[in-house]
Structure 1
């Protein structure tokens, strides 16, 4: 295995690895995955990132492909916060090549490269919809320190920010990023001090602001039939105000009106597939 910088003409091969990895471990639709890879990793985007002195791109290459060497992993990082912080934005390992230390090699290679370019500290951002990436990052001693809402391919997503808990510094943020905390609740009103919404049938339901689940566009909140929060009605979408929320057998929430979704992270032990 070789860790190296990619060439501009390798964008298509990188996209194939990213698409395969996201399809396996991200709770996103095929359309969302295609939109992300097409925007973030098209030929022009990859070429521009390679030329950018504040961006680090690395690929892991193996010699196991029948027709030649194969790209088995990809990582992207950049200098942020006036160069004081380095930030890993994306890290992917092809599912067929996991469990061989490729993820660890990419992580260490990218963090070393960012420090060589002047970063004093490194943080990692992981999409909320990435069902395995959170546990991978935590293996390096990083802790969840905050959330961001980011716009990718004209859609809003939540990223978890992980950093060294001993780094007593303000985390970096990008100009287009917004705090992921929810402050507005569309289609609701205050009733005797309770946040309420009205169903299509005219019934009042009560929104529990302290029972929150993150979503790709905005948070979900548990909705109750009564003010005492004893009988659950379902869920409320803070992105559009809808109560039409489905819950499948994998504990995945999805809004029937706007498509906002939440994927529950597995509580099972991580299998080191990225390490």
Structure 2
């Protein structure tokens, strides 16, 4: 895999990757996707760099199944004074699972710091069904919600902050207000009230209750990490922070090691099976119970274009 700045000849391929990734992972109509692609990646925007603007694009070029090398992912970063932001991150569905997204994210964060960013944020549309867990794996915390305008479209966008960020100053609060960020916790953004209960009074938090309520059938804990066993006797580790929605229950990423570096596949939280398949378009289905990947709770859309 090679990370590099794109050239003008790469513009069409960059837009193709963006369309494909959004079609697979975003609860948006084809018309909405096209509006975003044209607004954010039209004309010469895919070839921006920090030398000529306050934004830069980095692409990842990779092979798949021994075929020719092609652009497999793209990341966009923006710089505003000493504030940096990872604005867009896309990986072609056919190239997922190879660590391309992680490489792009970490490289862009490094590039933003090289350009003088003291703090780095990340953002993604609320309609992104799979991207929120990605930032949380880096321990980025959801700061709040803002409105993003694309032509006539106004869409909600979640903003994340890095865990090492210092305590908020009055100037930072003013900057957030100017950027239109509505500060919310993750629980608030998900619609949770945070109302105290009798369990809270006894020392059990809402987060503890939520953890207890999510049943992971067929698992046991090893050093605090849920584990399951494959049909051929291998033990895999279930990453509860890497969640993919499902019609009956969520799917969680499964790994062969406790550090979550060697990916195995998905674990189905409905029946406890690891017999989960994912096609080239990113559709996920449990072969044991038929549980399928769906939009996140509260979203409704026609999945004929996924």
- TM (normalized to structure 1)? 0.62
Q: Whole-Å Cα distance in 2 between the matches of residues 55 and 174 of structure 1?
A: 21
Flag the structure with higher helix content: 2
Q: 1:107 aligns with which of 97, 105, 108?
A: 105
Q: Whole-Å Cα distance in 2 between the matches of residues 126 and 61 of structure 1?
A: 23
RMSD in angstroms over aligned alpha carbons? 3.1
Aligned in 2, Cα 1:51/1:65: closer, same or farther, shift over 3 Å? farther
Q: How is 1:59-208 mapped onto 2 (pairs within 5 angstroms)?
A: 59-64=59-64, 68-80=68-80, 82=81, 84-167=82-165, 168-169=167-168, 170=172, 173=176, 177-180=179-182
Aligned in 2, Cα 1:67/1:142: closer, same or farther, shift over 3 Å? closer
Q: Whole-Å Cα distance in 1 between the matches of residues 88 and 163 of structure 2?
A: 21
Q: Deviations over 1:200-252 (max 9, x none)?
A: xxxxxxxxxxxx888xxxx9xxxxxxxxxxxxxxxxxxxxxxxxxxxxxxxxx
Which secondary structure state, in structure 2, belongs to the residue aligned with residue 112 of structure 1?
helix
- TM (normalized to structure 2)? 0.57
Structure 2, unpaired ranges of 5+: 192-243, 255-262, 266-281, 283-306
CA contact (8 A) 2:135 2:160 kept: yes
Q: Whole-Å Cα distance in 1 between the matches of residues 49 and 146 of structure 2?
A: 22
Q: Whole-Å Cα distance in 2 between the matches of residues 174 and 19 of structure 1?
A: 31
Flag the structure with higher strand content: 1
1:41 corresponds to which residue? 41
Structure 1, unpaired ranges of 5+: 182-211, 220-264
Aligned in 2, Cα 1:37/1:166: closer, same or farther, shift over 3 Å? same
Q: Whole-Å Cα distance in 2 between the matches of residues 69 and 108 of structure 1?
A: 22
2:196 corresponds to which residue? none
151-160 or 27-36: bigger deviation:
151-160
Q: Whole-Å Cα distance in 1 between the matches of residues 10 and 151 of structure 2?
A: 21
Aligned in 2, Cα 1:123/1:9: closer, same or farther, shift over 3 Å? same
Q: Whole-Å Cα distance in 2 between the matches of residues 34 and 51 of structure 1?
A: 28
110-119 or 149-158: bigger deviation:
149-158
CA contact (8 A) 2:5 2:47 kept: no
